Chains A and B, each alone.
Chain A
Amino acid sequence: MLRCEGLLKRFNVGTPDETMLFDGFDFEAEQGDFVSVIGSNGSGKTTLLNLICGSLPLDGGKITFGGRDITRMSEHKRAAMIGRVFQDPQKGTCANLTILENMALADNKKGLFGLTGAVNKKRIEYYRTLLEECGMGLENRMNTPAGSLSGGQRQALALVIANMTDIELLILDEHTAALDPKSSETVMRLTDKLVSGKKITTLMVTHNLRYALEYGNRLLMMHMGRSVMDLRGPEKKNAKIEDLLKTFNEISIECGN
């Protein structure tokens, strides 16, 4: 489904700070996989997502998606198949547009952005049912600008919006990290509901080890651009937070801090 082969990524090229983050990194995810990705800061989790989405250029290697080589495809073209929710709740929705307008735009993702009316009144009921699933009362505030929602509400809306059209890959980039514990639980449960309902292949970066264990069928721990732990199926089911912490600590000791 998603296959990354021999990824090369350097930062600060041509300066004394030049670092090689990925030096031949391989990764693949099968159709319907829900992969939780954990790792310390600077381990390359978010960079991996950025490379897959095309937000950052690759220095080498190849990315294929459903058998199609997308290595040179631009970010917005890849976005036709990818839904993405960011850590920053401001990024996933448009603050100056209302909830309804945000959803109408997302609903048209695969259509033409021409001179026909933006909001199709016949679809409003459908949008309402999608919002009701969030359980946040957003369905009664459809004419409110997204900018006046709380972080949790915006993130839930962003999640719904990312899933509105048939996407093949869902990218979640620490999407609960900026939320308070309660909103973050709510958003996580909503995530699980959406993902398991549609069986979308999902990559979720998180710093929350409990979420990483609780959700998804695969767990990847990264360190300095390498995968140091890759648990699947029953292996992942039986893993404990203590096991993850132990590996985490071993990595840190290796680095000498």
Chain B
Amino acid sequence: MDIKVLIDLIKVALENGFAYGVLALGVYITYSILDFPDLSVDGTVPLGATVSAVLILQGMNPWLSCLIAFLAGAAAGCVTGLLHVKLKIRPLLCGILVMTALLSINLVLMMKGTGGMSTAALYNSPTILKVFPVGLIPENVNGYKLRIVVVTLALAVICKLLLDGYLKTKSGLLLRAAGGNEQFVTMLARNPGVSKILGLAIGNGLAAFAGAILTQSKSSADLQMGQGMVVIGLASVIIGTSVFRGVRRMKDTTKVILGAVIYAACLQVALALGLPNSYLKLLQALLFVLALVSTDLLDGGLKKSANAKGGR
């Protein structure tokens, strides 16, 4: 492969990768910390996209629209949590229910906001990539979309630092305990259900925020964008934590963002090799399987070599 082609791939991977990184942080909270396989992400990413696009079209500041997108996602996450905690519905079903309900909600929001269309175009509207202070960064340098990369990187890093900080607080530590040992939280005289709902709210808030970033960086929102977001998020988390498993000093939050970039790069490689666009979701699923299996293979390989040593 030509070095220029390689650079092109990295460039495109970085354009999407950091926005996926924000999504991966959200999935990290629900999947890794809370041990809750949350499918509602497939609905909350387009929810965030729709909310922010519609609000921008109504004239709202794009940054403020991101905040409201986060809150909308958090509210949806609360619903997933309430279904699980109050009605004792299984985690997978809660996610499916909320994801399905959001299909309608997103459609209604989009139609109301755009006057009957199922997509929103932001080409002539301000987005987080056009307003101050981002407008000061050159949009293109030698044909590379520098601005998108810088902005999404900065947002991913800010989210990561905030999350790192939160996980060190009393509330954050209780969240980690709730994922590891519910009985322990109960014995601390706290309702573990509340921690779960809180975790799902933050996770889905971040997913919706990622949706808002994606839609504003593409200057368009469509309702199909949610398809496969769970897979992207989970694959990023699993790739990141397994590729960098040996790196002790690196925080998990950094690992999952890098995992998202690697995942985006893998998709770009496949597309660059001539894979038709229609096979993209199939490829996403296959890559996910590969990521899952490779973790086991790594484990298996390590175990085998350990056994061999023990046998001698």
A interface residue numbers (CB < 8 A to B)? 74-77, 79-80, 82-84, 86, 90-97, 101, 104-106, 108-119, 162
Contact = CB atoms under 8 A, between A and B. Distances in A.
B188 A118 contact: no
B180 A162 contact: no
A157 to B, nearest CB: 12
B169 A117 contact: yes
B166 interface: yes
B227 interface: no
A90 B181 contact: yes
A91 B184 contact: yes
Contact of A94 (B166, B170, B176, B189): B176
A111 B180 CA distance: 21
Contact of A97 (B166, B173, B190, B192): B173
A91 to B, nearest CB: 5
Task: Label chain A's interface by main secondary structure.
Answer: loop
Contacts of A104: 173
Contacts of B186: 75-76, 79
Contact of A96 (B169, B176, B191): B176
B58 interface: no
Given A76-B189, A77-B189, A97 B176 contact: yes
Interface residues of B, number: 23
Contacts of A113: 170-171, 173-174, 190
Contacts of A97: 173, 176-177, 180
Given A105-B174, A117-B168, A118-B169, A110 B189 contact: yes
B100 interface: no
Contacts of B181: 90-91, 93-95
A76 B190 contact: yes
B183 interface: yes
A95 B182 CA distance: 12
Contacts of B179: 96
B202 to A, nearest CB: 12
B187 interface: yes
Contacts of A74: 191
30 contacts: A75-B186, A76-B191, A79-B187, A79-B188, A80-B189, A86-B183, A90-B181, A94-B176, A94-B181, A96-B176, A96-B180, A97-B176, A97-B177, A97-B180, A104-B173, A105-B170, A105-B188, A106-B188, A108-B170, A109-B188, A109-B189, A112-B170, A113-B190, A114-B170, A115-B166, A116-B169, A118-B168, A118-B169, A118-B173, A119-B168
